[in-house]
Amino acid sequence: MKRNTKMMNRLELTTRLVSKLKNEEAVIGGIGNSNFDLWNAGRRPQNFYMLGSMGLTAPIALGVALAQPKRRVFALEGDGSILMQLGSLATIAAVNPRNLTIIVWDNGLYQITGSQPTATAAAADVVEIARGAGIAQSAWASDEEDFERLVERALHGDGKAPAAQTPREPVSIKDAFMRGMGTKPA
């Protein structure tokens, strides 16, 4: 299913995430904009500002999550960076740490180096890739409220994959029903 999300502001979402962290959760900021937005969302001793290497945010976060299983850990990564290290998704799925959440800011760009398009601007779907790697709870955030709902789930859920939920995609739900009713061409 093609994603159906609204364009959102990365700094605003980072700020919404950080404002929900009340238990010294760790946040690993990826290279570039993910990092700068984390910095600007307010300094916390539990923030790790990973500078330099694309794709290392999720592996570092995995290490923190395994070392401190009682602490919730968030990785903030750009789409270009996660695309460079897709194998880490399969490793994370295999290890299956219940306390780790990876947030990918998918702008379809290598923005910080000149806004060259990434593969997600063409055909790749990061959420489908993550699901295929075995991370069953992967989901698109369709808007800011949906993002907060997913953060709450990460903070208060038990990390187990939920039973299938209706995707929050009003237009595709309506279109599918209309096709089922024969009032819209297949």
The sign of the dihedral angle between the CA atoms of 37, 40, 42, 47 is positive
Q: How far apart (Å, rounded) are the C-alpha atoms in residues 103 and 151?
A: 9
Locus of tokens 């740490």? 97
Q: Among 48, 74, 110, 140, which residue interacts with ligand TPP (rule: CB under 6 A)?
A: 110
DSSP state at residue 162:
P
Q: How far apart are CA 72 and CA 159, in angstroms?
A: 10
Angle, alpha carbons 51-37-65 (nearest 5°): 60
Residue matched to tokens 């991370």: 135
123 vs 181, beta carbon nearer ligand TPP: 123
Nearer to ligand TPP, 31 or 60 (CB): 31
Q: Which stretch binds ligand TPP (CB under 6 A): 11-19, 52-60, 157-165, 174-182?
A: 52-60
**With respect to ligand TPP, which residue has the nearer C-beta, 81 or 142?**
81
Token pair for 54: 């694309």
Q: How far is the CB of 51 from ligand TPP (least distance, A)?
A: 9
In whole angstroms, how close is the CB of 121 to ligand TPP at the nearest point? Answer: 10
Q: For residue 92, state whether it binds ligand TPP (rule: CB under 6 A).
A: no
d(CA 116, CA 112): 9
With binding defined as CB under 6 A, does residue 112 bind ligand TPP? yes
Please state the closest distance from residue 96 (CB atom) to ligand TPP, in A: 25
Which string of x and - marks every residue 9-48 that binds ligand TPP (by CB under 6 A)? ----------------------xxx---------------
Which residue in 62, 60, 65 sits closest to 48, CA to CA?
60
Contact set with ligand TPP (CB under 6 A)? 31-33, 52-54, 78-81, 107, 109-113, 118
